[in-house]
Amino acid sequence: MTDMPRTFGDVSKKLLAVLVKNQGNEIAIVFDRYFTPSIKDYKHTLRNSVNDDKDYHISGPQQIRLVDFAKDLKNIKFKEALVKFFIDHWNTQEMAVIIRNKTIYLNHDLCYVFKVVDGTVQRTIDDKLSCSSHEEADTKTVFLACQLPQGSTTIIRTSDTDILVIMLANVEHLNESVRVWMDLGVGNARRYIDVSALSVQLGSMLSRALPAFHALTGCDFNPALTRYIANLWRNAHKSDITDLAPTDHGWNENNNKFEFTWFIGNQLPDAYENVVVSPDILGNENDTEDSNDETLDSGTQQERMVDEEPQYESSSEEEEEDELY
215 within 8 A of 222, measured Cβ to Cβ: yes
Question: Closest Cα to residue 95, out of 75, 67, 135, 122?
Answer: 122
Which of 147-151, 160-164, 305-309, 321-325 holds the top average pLDDT? 147-151
Mean pLDDT of 14-41: 90
pLDDT for 242 equals: 84
Average pLDDT, the chain: 82
Question: Closest Cα to residue 102, out of 88, 90, 84?
Answer: 90
67-71, 244-248, 277-281, 282-286: least confident range: 282-286
pLDDT for 37 equals: 78
pLDDT tens per residue across span 144-159: 999 999 999 999 999 8
| Domain spans, the chain | 8-260, 270-324
Identify the residue with better confidence: 226 or 64.
64
Distance CA 190, CA 154 (A): 17
pLDDT tens per residue across span 191-222: 999 999 999 999 999 999 998 887 777 655 54
pTM over 0.85: no
Mean pLDDT of 6-30: 96
